[in-house]
Amino acid sequence: MQRLVKALALAGVALGALAAAAPVEANDIVLKMAVPDWPPTRIMQDLANEKYKAASGNNVKLEADFIPWGVYYERLAASLTSGEKKYQMAVSDSQWLGAFVEGGYYMKINQFIDNDPEWQAIFKDLHPNLVAAYSTYPHKSGNYYGFPQMPDVLVTYYRNDLFCDASEQAAFQAKYSKKLPCTGEEMDDLDWDTFGQIGEFFMRKKGDKLAGQTLDDDFYGVAYQAGKDYDFAIMQVNGFIWQHGADIWDETKAPEGQAEGVVNSPEAVKALEQYLSYVKYMPPVVKTGTMDIFKTDELFREGKVALNVNWIGFAESAIAPETSKVAGKIAFAQPPGIRGSDGKIVRWQNIGGQPFVLTTWNSDEVTKESLAFCKWWLSDEIQTEYARRGGQSGLQSVYNKPDYNTFRPWNRAWAPSLDWQKDVWHVPDFYELLVNSQEEYVKAITGQQDAKTTMDNIAAFQQNLLTEAGLIK
């Protein structure tokens, strides 16, 4: 009997050891993420496919749903509000935070940060302008909903084969009594007045000479976003407004802040007038209201304009020979601005880029895996690799690496631009504000109304809407 008991005991120990040694069954988990379709998100998906392996042992796959930028907000909003619960995560524009947080669709993430030193270190490492724009709602509240990633800024793309050409240099000097910028440092000092001269200077007709070559088609001086879809005018106009010392309505001043007298201030009107003054140096498509960020990118890559102000996110395709006729002939610099009384350039711009957000209907396990993926994505190793492949990182420890500027030619303009970033409204009513502003700006761009009428119309609309929403007294 004792032998039997002993044998059973030993068997039990053996079975227990086997059970302990047996691997826990891995679950298959798909993280479905809504993303805008453009180069930075394609790079992200490639990296995830190649390198991501969940530390939990689960089989976790990131599945990105690529949606065209022009309809991205509408498609994501339709999905979130329909109750279909299609997405576990999303790449969200910063200005959507208010609407989708108040709707109950975006998960607050403070508890995860507060309880995790690794997350605390990541947020401390992120540039504060990114945390303010991509994470925080309401503004300056300390309530976090987004993980800052894919930060984007406007930069200057220019044809250095033209700007550095000796004959073009001499002609510009003769006409304007100043040097045509050539080096990155010279272009970093570009103000809007010289930008306008560059636009005028490089306007050429078919058959004219350009850097010693006879043109087969008309050639144009400059380009920047002036499109009717989504935010493809306001994101450029806002920079002019802030640089002129004017402002858009700011939710930080609610409910005492006003739209009337602010949005349509004399300085704001002057800013729009300056923005509109350069349209005549752009390809004629600008007068159709369709010169969005994709069109300006296309025009530059096709070799039809000398200089383009656009998001860094498009730069990879501009330098690739398979997608760009001007590959090997371009350089990058900080965006133009207004020269202050001290001689320095004031270059406030509207921040681009997007955070990751988690939706509120996820199970605990999916939430855990989503957080793990975000932490992996914001690790030094992956963010560095992302930057090497043409993306951008908001981690100071990454973009301050000694060799960071060697990763891509536009990186030299990246970090200096971050300190100059502001954002549009984060209020739930942002979409109505956006649509109205876009409609009015495009009327001005296409010559249907002047700058003062445009700003007066926007101010009146915003004053009424924000008063009804209780955001203005």
Residue pLDDT, tens place only, 106-131: 999 999 999 999 999 999 999 999 99
Does 394 share its domain with 286? no
Q: Select from 374, 385, 411, 366 the least CA-distant residue to 122.
A: 374
pLDDT at 22 over 50: no
Return the bridge partners of 307, or none: 158, 222
Predicted confidence band at 251 (pLDDT cuts at 50, 70, 90)? confident
Give the mean model confidence (pLDDT) for residues 198-216: 98
> For residue 25, what pLDDT is reported?
77
**Angle made by CA atoms 124, 127, 128, in degrees to the nearest 5:** 80
> For residue 19, what pLDDT is reported?
42
The answer to the question of residue 128 being in a domain is yes
Does 217 share its domain with 287? yes
Predicted confidence band at 24 (pLDDT cuts at 50, 70, 90)? low
In this structure, the number of other CB atoms found within 10 A of the CB of residue 212 comes to 9
Does 100 share its domain with 213? no
pLDDT tens digits, residue range 355-373? 999 999 999 999 999 999 9
> For residue 250, what pLDDT is reported?
85
> For residue 3, what pLDDT is reported?
41
Q: Select from 169, 152, 151 the least CA-distant residue to 160.
A: 169
pLDDT at 187 over 60: yes
The answer to the question of residue 8 being in a domain is no
The answer to the question of residue 7 being in a domain is no
CA distance 353 to 134: 8
pLDDT at 177 over 90: yes
> For residue 351, what pLDDT is reported?
95
The answer to the question of residue 197 being in a domain is yes
Q: What is residue 219's DSSP assignment?
A: B
> For residue 312, what pLDDT is reported?
93
**Angle made by CA atoms 437, 137, 355, in degrees to the nearest 5:** 80
CA distance 86 to 378: 24
Give the range among 11-15, 102-106, 299-303 with minimum mean pLDDT: 11-15
pLDDT tens digits, residue range 162-175? 999 999 999 999 99
Predicted confidence band at 413 (pLDDT cuts at 50, 70, 90)? very high
Strand bridging mode 147-152 / 305-311: unpaired
The answer to the question of residue 453 being in a domain is no
> For residue 13, what pLDDT is reported?
42
pLDDT at 15 over 80: no
Distances, alpha carbon 37 to alpha carbons 71, 89, 332, 407, in Å: 10, 15, 23, 23
Helix (H, G, I), strand (E, B) or coil at 225: coil
Predicted confidence band at 139 (pLDDT cuts at 50, 70, 90)? confident
In the predicted model, what is the mean pLDDT of the chain? 93
Predicted confidence band at 310 (pLDDT cuts at 50, 70, 90)? very high
The answer to the question of residue 94 being in a domain is yes
The answer to the question of residue 168 being in a domain is yes
CA distance 297 to 224: 9
Does 166 share its domain with 78? no
Does 114 share its domain with 244? no
Among 400, 422, 444, the domain-final residue is 422
Among 322, 350, 378, the domain-final residue is 350
Does 166 share its domain with 136? no
> For residue 12, what pLDDT is reported?
43
Strand bridging mode 89-91 / 154-159: unpaired
Give the mean model confidence (pLDDT) for residues 445-467: 98
Q: Which residues contact 381 (CB under 8 A, 6 or more apart)?
A: none
Does 320 share its domain with 385? no
Does 193 share its domain with 335? yes
Does 179 share its domain with 260? yes
pLDDT tens digits, residue range 264-292? 999 999 999 999 999 999 999 999 999 99
Give the mean model confidence (pLDDT) for residues 84-99: 95
The domain of 270 spans 154-350
> For residue 70, what pLDDT is reported?
85
Among 379, 398, 422, the domain-final residue is 422
Burial of 122 (0-12, 13-18, 19+ CB in 10 A): buried
**Distance, CA of 58 to chain centre:** 32
Predicted confidence band at 16 (pLDDT cuts at 50, 70, 90)? very low
Q: How far apart are the first and last CA of the chain?
A: 89
**Rounded to two decimals, what is the model's pTM?**
0.91
pLDDT tens digits, residue range 314-343? 999 999 999 999 999 999 999 999 999 999
| CATH number of the domain encompassing residue 415 | 3.40.190.10
Does 138 share its domain with 160? no
Going 42 to 43 to 49 to 52, the CA torsion angle's sign is negative
372-378 contact pairs (CB < 8 A, 24+): 372/54, 372/55, 372/56, 372/60, 373/31, 373/48, 373/52, 373/54, 373/60, 373/62, 373/89, 374/147, 374/149, 375/118, 375/119, 375/122, 376/52, 377/44, 377/48, 377/147, 377/149, 378/122, 378/147, 378/149
Does 114 share its domain with 175? no
Give the mean model confidence (pLDDT) for residues 132-155: 93
Number of domains in the chain: 2
Q: Percent of the chain at pLDDT above 70?
A: 95
Does 120 share its domain with 179? no
Predicted confidence band at 10 (pLDDT cuts at 50, 70, 90)? very low
| Contact in structure between 95 and 426 (CB atoms under 8 Å) | yes
Q: For the CA atoms of 195, 196, 201, 202, what is the dihedral angle to 10 degrees?
A: 70
> For residue 453, what pLDDT is reported?
98
The answer to the question of residue 260 being in a domain is yes
